[in-house]
Amino acid sequence: MSSDSLQLFITGVYRTGSTYLSFLLNNHPDLTVGLHTTNWFREQHKTARDALHYAEKRWGIEYSEGDLPPQTECENEWDAAMRALFETHRWGEKQQLETSNIPTFLDQFPNGKAISIIRDPRSVLASWTKYTHHDPPAHLQAPFNSLGALQHTHRFAERLAPDRFRYVTYENLAQNTCGVVQRLIRWLELPWPGSEEMLSQDGWANVPGSQWEDRSSYDDPKDVDIEASVNRWRGNLSTQEVAFVEIVCGDEMEWFEYEWESEEEFSVDEAQELIRSHSKDPEQRERTLEMFNHWRRSGGGVEMFPDEDVTDEETWVENQ
């Protein structure tokens, strides 16, 4: 297999800018980055053919058996699938809520690198509240997912080799896009093709054949202001919601230098009552309370979409 092969894994909680970062890195002429192309971890594929079938069914990416490269050229089945889909030995894939799987990815790929993108949990909650189609209190599940990502990222930043793992904050990416991308390209050991090419949004697409539009929760796609989105949670969350995020994510927020702003005391019982006060969707209320009770017992976050089984212990941070 090629000694200059590269496999890149990008992950984070929903509404953290992971799609934006993926498209920016995909601008590099020597790197192809896909969004959920195989969803390898979530779909638990066993073979390259499983992944190719998923990509065809989910995204309409056609393939033939002849597209698969010889196994001697590939690191593993995942690598074979991505090489077949993208026709390159330098590829990346973005998947959501898979921060815990970063060490697994790095173990599978000797040349692999991984990026965790994080964002102020208050901004994640504000954005998710407007973006999700699930009824309240499903939006209050976001802080528990943010906590899980912050906990994993904090641990990996201290334990994993810096030449293989990096974390990026949405705030830095939004306010210094060129600088962040340039440092990442250098870290990936790729040549810098120039700012104009790397920051261009021409030809961006969510899936093959569709034009990409920034999925801001607050701006018209044509008028999105990435930098202005940094502190958009101010004025879009209630005082109780801000306090809820800070009581759940507090210690990890401080490690990443997200300052608390709640002026009033907010108890754990009040946090629980905020969840209980939402009665529009009893099922989501119970799911959110399960996450809350798990956090209350262990201090741990989760990695979970609103439709997943909250009682599955494999999604709990301390079991990953």
What pLDDT, on the 0 to 100 scale, is given for residue 206? Answer: 57
Average pLDDT of the residues in 236-248: 95
| Better pLDDT: 4 or 162 | 162
Distance, in Å, from the CA atom of 118 to the CA atom of 167, rounded to the nearest integer, reads: 7
Q: How far apart are CA 52 and CA 72, in angstroms?
A: 19
What average pLDDT does range 107-135 have in this prediction?
A: 93
**Which of 96, 80, 76, 77 has its CA nearest to residue 88?**
80
Domain 6-121+153-223 CATH class label: alpha beta
149-173 pLDDT, tens digit per residue, is 999 999 999 999 999 999 999 999 9
Rounded to an integer, the average pLDDT of 29-56 is: 92
pLDDT confidence of 2, banded at 50, 70, 90?
low
Distances (CA, A) of 215 to 95, 125, 223: 16, 15, 11
148, pLDDT greater than 50? yes
Q: Report the alpha-carbon distance of residue 299 to residue 253 in Å, rounded.
A: 14
Enumerate the domain spans of the chain.
6-121+153-223
| pLDDT score of 186 more than 60 | yes
Stretch 125-134: mean pLDDT, rounded?
87
Task: Work out the angle at residue 278's Cα, subtended by the Cα atoms of residues 277 and 280, and round it to the nearest 5 degrees.
Answer: 145
In the structure encoding, which two tokens stand for residue 300, read together? 């741990």
- Measured at the alpha carbon of residue 268, what is the angle toward residues 266 and 270, in degrees to the nearest 5? 60
Query: pTM value?
Result: 0.89
Distance CA 44, CA 39 (A): 8
- Of 67-71, 79-83, 214-218, the one with minimum mean pLDDT is 214-218
- Does residue 213 register a pLDDT over 70? no
**Each residue's pLDDT tens digit, 223-233:** 456 666 788 89
Q: How many CB atoms lie within 10 A of CB 53?
A: 14
Tokens standing for residue 302: 């989760």
> Residue 144 has what pLDDT?
98
Residue 210 confidence (pLDDT) above 50: no
